[in-house]
C-alpha cells in the first residue's frame, strides 16, 4: 500500500525497553561470534548459505544463474547454533550466554511476543518452540552478517546498523518498502534515471542480480528472469507488519503496479523492441527480516506471467541499448502519459496489444489506440482516422506519408473483419510501395509514431490536425494549382 508520510510510526516497545533490548542483543551477538569463531578455528564444517552463482563468461550480458553446493559460496555461520543438536547444529541456544535473558525479555513483553507468534497459533509448546527460534534469530542473523561482511572482530558501527535494521522489523507495525521491477530485454546507457519523486530506473549490481533470484523451481519462466540489466524502483510504499511468521513465506507482488505499467507504455512508444517484467520484488527500507551472507536484503515472491510482450524471446543479450537522448525521450513520454487522457489511453492499448495472444485482440487494441488520438466521435471513422494518421505522419517527418492512406483504411477493414468473424485473408496484409507487410504490424508502427508525435506536440488534437495540417495542405495545393507562377527578375 502507498505510504502516508504524515502517519506516526507505532512501536511495540517504549524507549527504555528498546535500550534493554539493545543491550541484551549486543551481548548475545558478541557471545555468538565468539562461539562460532572457536568452532571455525577447531575445523567445524559449517553449512553453506543457499546462494546463487551467476556466470556471465559464456552466457552473455544476462548470464546464467545456478544453485550449487560445489561453488565457492559463503558459509552459514548461524547454522552452527540451533534449538537442539539433532539437526546438525554444534551447540544449542542454551550454550550462548545471555540468550535466555533475551528469551525472557520477549516473553515478558506481550506485544512483542504475540507479534513473533500469534496467541492463537498452535498449542503452547509449539508457540514456545517457534518463539525461541525467532528470538534467537536476532543475534544469530546479526552475527552471521557481521562475520560475512566485516569479519570476526566486533565493529560497533556495523553492529549498530544491523541491530537497527532488525529492531525496526521487530517493533514497527508498518514497514517502509520499495518495489523493484526488473525490466526485461532492454539495456539503458545510464546507470540511474530519475523519473519522478516516486520512481527511478537503476542499474542492478551483481549482488542485486543474485539477491533477486527467486529459487530453483521456476518452470518456463526461468529463461526470462535473468533478462534484465535495470529495474524500475517504485518508492513510498508501506506494508503491514502483523506478525513475524509472515516472512517465513514468499510475498506475492501486487497484481498491478500502475507506475510500472505507465513506464512500459512509455517504453513501447520509444522503442519497438519487446519488453515487460515477470518479477516484482520487495526491498525493505531501513529494516530487515534477516540476511543471506553479504547479499542485499530482498524479499522475492511468485513470478507473474502476463506482464511481458508475447514477442519477447529468451536471450543472452539485450535487444537494444537506449542512449542518453532516447532515455530523455522516454522520460518526457512517461510524464506526458499522466497529463493527457487520450494519449494515455492510446499508450495503454499499445501496451495491451504487446501482451495479447491473438491477432484479433491485438488489432482491436491498436485501432482503439488510433481512435483515441484521431477520432472526434462524429462519424465516418475510417476515412477520418486514415486522413488524420497521414497528417500526423507528415508532422513526424515520415517520407511520403500519403502512401499510408490506403493501408490505414485497410487496417480498419481488417479490424471489422476479425471483430465480426468474417474472412480476413484479404485484409491481413497491406502494400507500402513495393513491399508487403502484415496489417497488424503497420497498425502497430503507425500508432507508435503517432503517439511519439502527439507527445512532442500535445496540442495536436483531431480538430487541430484538421485545421493546422490538413487545412494548410489543402490551402497550399489550391495555391499551387491556381496562382500564377512567380517569375524572379533581377
* Structural domain containing residue 257: 173-319
Structure confidence at residue 52 (pLDDT): 86
- Which segment of 274-283, 409-418, 475-484 scores lowest on mean pLDDT? 475-484
Decide if 402 is inside a domain. Answer: yes
Q: Say if residue 120 is in the same domain as residue 181.
A: no
pLDDT at 263 over 70: yes
Cβ contact 483:378 at 8 Å: no
- Which segment of 351-355, 378-382, 412-416 scores lowest on mean pLDDT? 378-382
Q: Say if residue 119 is in the same domain as residue 220.
A: no
Decide if 283 is inside a domain. Answer: yes
Structure confidence at residue 120 (pLDDT): 86
Average of pLDDT values for 358-367? 94
Q: For residue 92, which of 26, 31, 149, 163 has the smallest C-alpha distance?
A: 31
| Structural domain ending residue among the three candidates 115, 136, 171 | 171
Per-residue pLDDT of 292-349, as tens digits, reads 999 999 988 778 878 999 999 999 999 999 999 999 999 999 999 989 899 999 999 9
Q: Say if residue 473 is in the same domain as residue 345.
A: yes
Per-residue pLDDT of 46-99, as tens digits, reads 999 888 888 877 778 998 888 766 668 899 999 999 999 877 799 999 999 999
Decide if 31 is inside a domain. Answer: yes
| Structural domain ending residue among the three candidates 319, 351, 375 | 319
Per-residue pLDDT of 226-261, as tens digits, reads 999 999 999 988 888 988 877 655 455 555 688 999
| Structural domain ending residue among the three candidates 141, 171, 201 | 171
Average of pLDDT values for 357-362? 92
Decide if 58 is inside a domain. Answer: no
Q: Say if residue 308 is in the same domain as residue 269.
A: yes
pLDDT at 462 over 60: yes
Per-residue pLDDT of 435-453, as tens digits, reads 999 999 999 999 999 999 9
Q: Say if residue 27 is in the same domain as residue 125.
A: yes
- In the chain the first and final C-alpha atoms are separated, in Å, by 76
d(CA 411, CA 339): 28
Quote the mean pLDDT of the chain: 89
Decide if 4 is inside a domain. Answer: no
Cβ contact 245:133 at 8 Å: no
Q: For residue 174, which of 2, 6, 5, 10 has the smallest C-alpha distance?
A: 10
Decide if 154 is inside a domain. Answer: yes
Domain count, the chain: 3
State the pLDDT confidence band at 389, using cuts at 50, 70 and 90.
very high
Structure confidence at residue 202 (pLDDT): 98
Q: Say if residue 187 is in the same domain as residue 256.
A: yes
Q: Say if residue 251 is in the same domain as residue 356.
A: no
Pick the residue with more confidence: 40 or 3? 40
Sign of CA dihedral 385, 386, 390, 396: positive
Q: Say if residue 181 is in the same domain as residue 310.
A: yes
Decide if 412 is inside a domain. Answer: yes
Decide if 327 is inside a domain. Answer: no
Q: Say if residue 19 is in the same domain as residue 150.
A: yes
Q: For residue 56, which of 298, 330, 316, 411 has the smallest C-alpha distance?
A: 316
Structure confidence at residue 109 (pLDDT): 94
State the pLDDT confidence band at 39, using cuts at 50, 70 and 90.
very high
Structure confidence at residue 490 (pLDDT): 44
Q: Say if residue 208 is in the same domain as residue 281.
A: yes
Average of pLDDT values for 139-153? 98
Average of pLDDT values for 448-463? 93
Degrees (nearest 5) of the Cα angle 316, 319, 320? Answer: 130
Q: Say if residue 153 is in the same domain as residue 191.
A: no
pLDDT at 1 over 60: no
Cβ contact 131:106 at 8 Å: yes
Q: Say if residue 24 is in the same domain as residue 163.
A: yes
Pick the residue with more confidence: 229 or 470? 229
Amino acid at each position: 500500500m502507498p505510504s502516508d508520510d504524515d502517519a506516526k510510526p507505532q512501536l511495540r516497545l517504549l524507549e527504555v525497553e528498546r535500550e534493554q533490548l539493545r543491550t541484551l542483543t549486543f551481548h548475545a551477538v558478541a557471545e555468538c561470534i565468539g562461539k562460532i569463531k572457536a568452532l571455525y578455528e577447531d575445523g567445524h564444517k559449517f553449512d553453506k548459505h543457499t546462494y546463487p552463482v551467476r556466470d556471465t563468461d559464456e552466457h552473455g550480458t544476462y548470464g546464467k544463474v545456478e544453485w550449487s553446493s560445489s561453488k565457492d559460496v559463503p558459509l552459514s555461520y548461524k547454522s552452527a547454533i540451533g534449538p537442539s543438536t539433532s539437526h546438525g547444529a554444534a551447540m544449542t541456544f542454551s550454550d550462548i550466554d545471555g540468550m535466555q535473558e533475551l528469551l525472557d525479555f520477549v516473553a515478558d513483553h506481550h506485544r512483542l511476543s504475540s507479534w513473533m507468534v500469534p496467541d492463537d497459533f498452535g498449542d503452547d509448546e509449539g508457540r514456545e518452540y517457534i518463539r525461541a527460534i525467532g528470538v534467537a534469530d536476532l543475534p544469530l542473523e546479526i552475527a552471521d552478517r557481521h562475520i560475512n561482511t566485516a569479519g570476526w572482530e566486533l565493529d560497533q558501527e556495523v553492529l549498530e546498523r544491523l541491530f537497527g535494521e532488525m529492531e525496526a522489523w521487530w517493533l514497527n507495525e508498518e514497514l517502509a518498502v520499495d518495489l523493484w521491477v526488473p525490466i526485461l530485454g532492454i539495456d539503458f546507457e545510464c546507470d540511474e534515471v530519475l523519473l519522478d519523486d516516486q520512481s527511478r530506473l537503476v542499474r542492478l549490481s551483481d549482488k542485486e542480480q543474485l539477491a533477486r533470484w527467486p529459487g530453483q523451481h521456476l518452470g518456463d519462466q526461468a529463461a526470462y528472469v535473468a533478462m534484465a540489466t535495470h529495474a524500475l524502483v517504485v518508492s513510498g510504499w508501506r506494508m503491514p507488519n502483523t506478525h513475524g511468521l509472515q516472512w517465513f513465506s514468499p510475498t506475492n507482488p501486487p497484481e498491478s503496479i500502475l507506475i510500472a505499467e505507465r513506464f512500459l507504455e512509455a517504453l513501447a512508444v520509444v522503442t519497438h523492441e519487446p519488453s515487460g517484467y515477470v518479477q516484482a520484488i520487495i526491498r525493505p527500507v531501513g529494516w530487515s527480516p534477516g540476511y543471506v551472507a553479504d547479499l542485499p536484503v530482498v524479499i522475492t515472491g511468485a513470478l507473474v506471467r502476463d506482464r511481458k510482450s508475447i514477442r519477447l524471446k529468451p536471450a543472452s543479450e539485450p535487444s537494444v541499448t537506449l542512449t542518453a537522448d532516447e532515455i530523455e525521450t522516454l522520460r518526457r513520454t512517461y510524464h506526458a502519459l499522466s497529463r493527457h487522457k487520450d494519449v494515455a489511453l492510446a499508450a495503454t492499448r499499445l501496451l495491451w496489444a504487446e501482451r495479447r495472444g491473438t491477432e484479433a485482440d491485438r488489432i482491436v487494441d491498436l485501432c482503439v489506440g488510433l481512435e483515441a488520438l484521431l477520432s472526434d466521435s462524429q462519424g465516418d471513422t475510417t476515412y477520418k482516422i486514415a486522413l488524420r494518421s497521414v497528417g500526423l505522419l507528415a508532422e513526424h517527418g515520415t517520407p511520403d506519408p500519403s502512401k499510408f492512406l490506403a493501408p490505414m483504411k485497410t487496417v480498419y477493414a481488417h479490424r471489422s473483419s476479425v471483430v465480426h468473424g468474417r474472412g480476413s485473408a484479404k485484409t491481413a496484409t497491406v502494400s507500402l510501395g513495393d513491399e508487403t507487410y502484415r496489417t497488424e504490424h503497420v497498425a502497430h508502427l503507425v500508432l507508435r509514431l503517432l503517439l511519439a508525435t502527439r507527445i512532442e506536440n500535445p496540442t495536436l488534437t483531431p480538430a487541430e490536425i484538421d485545421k493546422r495540417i490538413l487545412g494548410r495542405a489543402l490551402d497550399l495545393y489550391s495555391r499551387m494549382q491556381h496562382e500564377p507562377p512567380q517569375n524572379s527578375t533581377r
